A = this chain, B = another copy of it.
């Protein structure tokens, strides 16, 4: 086979694997949206069958051979072909390094762990989950050893979510952020305590919420010919094909901004997915590069664009047409309401000023757990102590403390830090975009979103996995991920008024 044919066949295999991968995503999407309750066990079997099939295809001897032949071609370092081969190799090696029986055993442990976590959270009793978390940690450490790492076992875990990032770098950025953000939180809380902040109340029918959310997302640039929004308990974004991006949200009939900001967040993810090069779908060059970049996009549209006075100057009149109960609001009052900063126990309900403190806490605990310096049974006390030092609040129970998140129960150790990386990247990209073109700022003030979207398309979306996330951010903003732009953004947004 001539060398280039090997590369083309390798790409063909990747696309075939992706056809099944996106089919599994549909099984998952349907599970969250429409699956009848009694159908859950069979759905798990369907998902397991697809997962085993794609794993077998992705680690086949044929793929290995085509990969070796493609590497031997010697594509230029800066070519798309080079980056595709590099990323396929990386994924192949990561998949091959873990023995199959460990993969299966880990899946079983996480499945039990997840059920135990659900029960433990319900009873707010960490001890029910502790033995499962111990096992999950033990296997996570073993996986890290199989994968290997330059410096810290956590590097190997991070690589699964934020390829190219190191524990050392994340630690530096996050540990520098926490004390400053803690101070900022106090200052902003004090500042807001002097202001009268209204609360949104009334009845906001679901149909009207759907309509409003859809109009805003469409104005942002989300293509509804190639996507849709449905209702789920927990909002998410998933891609079922190159022109099939599904967002979900949940509706609070007493406050239409809840579903709105979920949609703006998920639409940010969706705009990234819709901005990836369609012709490369199924190849690394057509896929998102990391969670920290993905979250930069969702946070941008949710917070930098949606949670602003400019947004409400433009959109409140339309909201008032759709919602009679929004007619007493002013752009000023609704903005104040959605910018309310109030430390609370639950991460997913946190405002953007306190959010990263929730992450700092989890990141510290995860590191200590992986290193073994924190025994599992001490998680609740460590959590509560650290929470008090960061927020000045006493955690009332485990359900509102160390049991609130699903991540550990599903084996997702190493995931949390990407939320803060997303916030930092978001602020850094937004600053760079505004600096690059004077029209972006004025466009946003006029409810025009094409220029900011085009900037993201050009600097982030179109590149897929051509560069690693740290390199991509450096190319787009001139420096690697820092915490400075984020702090500047929060300070000017929340302390200038």
Contacts and interface: CB of A to CB of B under 8 A. Distances in A.
Q: Is the interface of A mostly helix, strand, loop or mixed?
A: helix
Interface stretch (A106-114, A237-245, A347-355): A237-245
Interface string A179-190: 000000000000
Interface string A27-56: 100100011111101110110011001000
A306 B212 CA distance: 40
A241 B43 contact: yes
Contacts of A27: 23, 26
A243 B38 contact: yes
Given A26-B26, A27-B26, A30-B30, A46 B241 contact: yes
B23 A240 contact: no
B19 A228 contact: no
Contacts of A149: none
A50 B26 CA distance: 13
Given A49-B16, A241-B46, A226 B22 contact: no
Contacts of A45: 19
A225 B41 CA distance: 13
Nearest to A16: B49
Q: In the complex this chain forms, how many copies of it are found?
A: 2
Interface in A239-295: 240-244, 281
Nearest to A225: B38
A243 B42 contact: yes
Residue from A22, A36, A225, A243 having most chain B Cβ neighbours under 10 A: A36
Nearest to A40: B243
A242 B39 CA distance: 7
A397 interface: no
A79 B228 CA distance: 49
A95 interface: no
A5 B228 CA distance: 47
A224 interface: yes
Contacts of A42: 22, 241-244, 281
Given A26-B27, A39-B226, A42-B244, 13 more contacts: A16-B49, A19-B46, A20-B50, A23-B49, A26-B30, A34-B230, A35-B244, A36-B227, A36-B243, A37-B225, A41-B243, A46-B241, A53-B53
7 contacts: A16-B49, A19-B46, A26-B27, A26-B30, A35-B244, A36-B244, A42-B242
> Which 7 A-B pairs have CB atoms at the shortest separation, nearest pair first?
A39-B244, A42-B241, A38-B243, A38-B226, A19-B49, A38-B225, A39-B243
